[in-house]
Structure 1
Amino acid sequence: MDDYFIKHKMREYDVRASFVGVQSGEVLQLLGDDSKVYNLCSISKLVTSLLCLKLFSQKKIDLTSKICEELLNFENVEIDVEDCLRHVSGIEDIEEDFMPNQSISKNKLLSNIKLGEYGKFLYSDHGYMIVQYFLEQKFGVKFENLVKQYIFAPLSLNSFKYINHRSEIDAKTYCIGYDPKGAPIKESYSIYPYPAACGLWGNGKDIMILLQEVTAGLRGESALKIDQDIYSLFMKSKYEKWLGIGCFLEGEGSIVEFSSLGWGEGYQSILASIPSQNRTIVVLTNKDSGKHQLESFCGDVYRSWVSTIE
């Protein structure tokens, strides 16, 4: 994979800006402007999961804490933190609750909660927001401050920021989003003011650092000082063999890959890692292809990376 390949694919898919980071052992390759800031959308969930594992490692929370009893007043509901992180809580999303450039109050979001089948995969932004409210209630501080204290500051992830308002956007470094037809999206940027679920923005350099931390932690070399046994929960399946904590799993034996995908109005991204081989890839773009990531620019770049793996 080289700069020519990336630029060729950008032209093919009409992608205006992209970042591609690839690590193979000690060799690190960065293609594109690693200082540009992208909407990371649902990759936010990987960060939320990492925060929960960090707090669990310090015995500040229990992943089996029953959170619905405290926040939703549901009786006889055994949903815990880990269930929400794995998308098996049965909590159903209401699409209009997570539209860009609009804000819904905590009370309204919680009042919209509906329960489906527990223990079955059901992708849930609501579930992650419930984890956020649980943490804020327990620690008495904003979720953003918790993440900054325990994750961003120790790893020096200086570009990472949860954006809640258009006024927080720096037009010099933040990439404008584009729709499937190649036109700038309405209001130029899609802002999702739901930090734990989909509110994170960041640049390529910092997302690579984050991914390197997760990969190193799974090998017992965490800069955040999270025990390897706790880190391994990321890649331990429950209910579904392809479902980790805050990520998706593929493969078996020593060749298991975890991945996280981001998709919002104007932006798509994918990151993947095979920790046992210290191989990772990050692909960030400022275009919503209108298709799944694997059917667009992100997918072609990802498959090029996969083709190099033995």
Structure 2
Amino acid sequence: MADSSRVWLITGTSSGFGKRIAKVALERGDRVIATARSIEKLQELEEGLSPEHRQRFRKAALDVTEGEDAIKAKVDAMATFWGGIDILINNAGFGLVGLIEEGGTKQLRRQFETNVFGVMDVTAAALPHLRESKDAAVVVVGSRSVWIPELVGIGPYAASKAAVHAITENLSSELAPFNIKVCLVQPGGFRTEGIYGQPYFTGNPIPAYDTLREASIKRFAGVPGSEKGDPDKAAIAIVDVVRGEGVAKGRPWPPYLVLGEDAEVNVKNKCAKVLKVLDEWVDVARGVSFDPPQDGHSK
């Protein structure tokens, strides 16, 4: 590529973190391929850019649930815009809220289709191009929900993000030989558009859960607008990490990037909780190994 700036492929760019990351990357002088299911919303994003930024901006319709073959064809076509892809931001996703038993596997499958399989299909499609880059990175937007899955109502969402976390951590090992850096972003509550746009699932009410469900619905209804996280600051931090500047200047690449005071507390509390139980039951943990050979009976 003649242009020395890097090419970013960002999913879920019509709103939230994706939209903001795209703008910051353009401001830093890089090129952006913005994708979303709605090309109209991407048009709105493009129209809000300066003429100079528009020259380094491309948009493409991409539904991450289209399936691996369709996604590969689209990503391959996107790679021809500027002759490659250097940075992949897996941002597209959504959250279903509801009780696990009431939603059943239908809700789980719907949640996993976008948040897990979508991430995997886009990543697999982009990796051949990333391996050709001299300075490649994969950033996956996970969630602090993985650290608080006990919270009633977030079961399907937390489960999907837990799978994403495991896949991302494994990818960091698989991609290390190619010098492709991997970062798992774990944001807390941020005031982004439509984050709580999905209605609470009530399509299969089980009377035994009536009290619990109503309390959970009330809790989620009170969240929008109360989040402490500033999504603009989060986008700047993520771009800083990818480019090694700003808050990341002079610091090693972070395999994990926890964003938000609430997320910090959640991670620390879960680690402390697990370690406490482990310490209380450490005798049992250690007591299930084979007994050592007795004197005179060793081979």
Query: TM-score under structure 2 normalisation?
Result: 0.25
More strand by share: 1
Higher relative contact order (CA 8 A, sep 6+): 1
Higher-Rg member (1/2):
2
Higher helix share: 2
TM-score, normalised relative to structure 1:
0.25
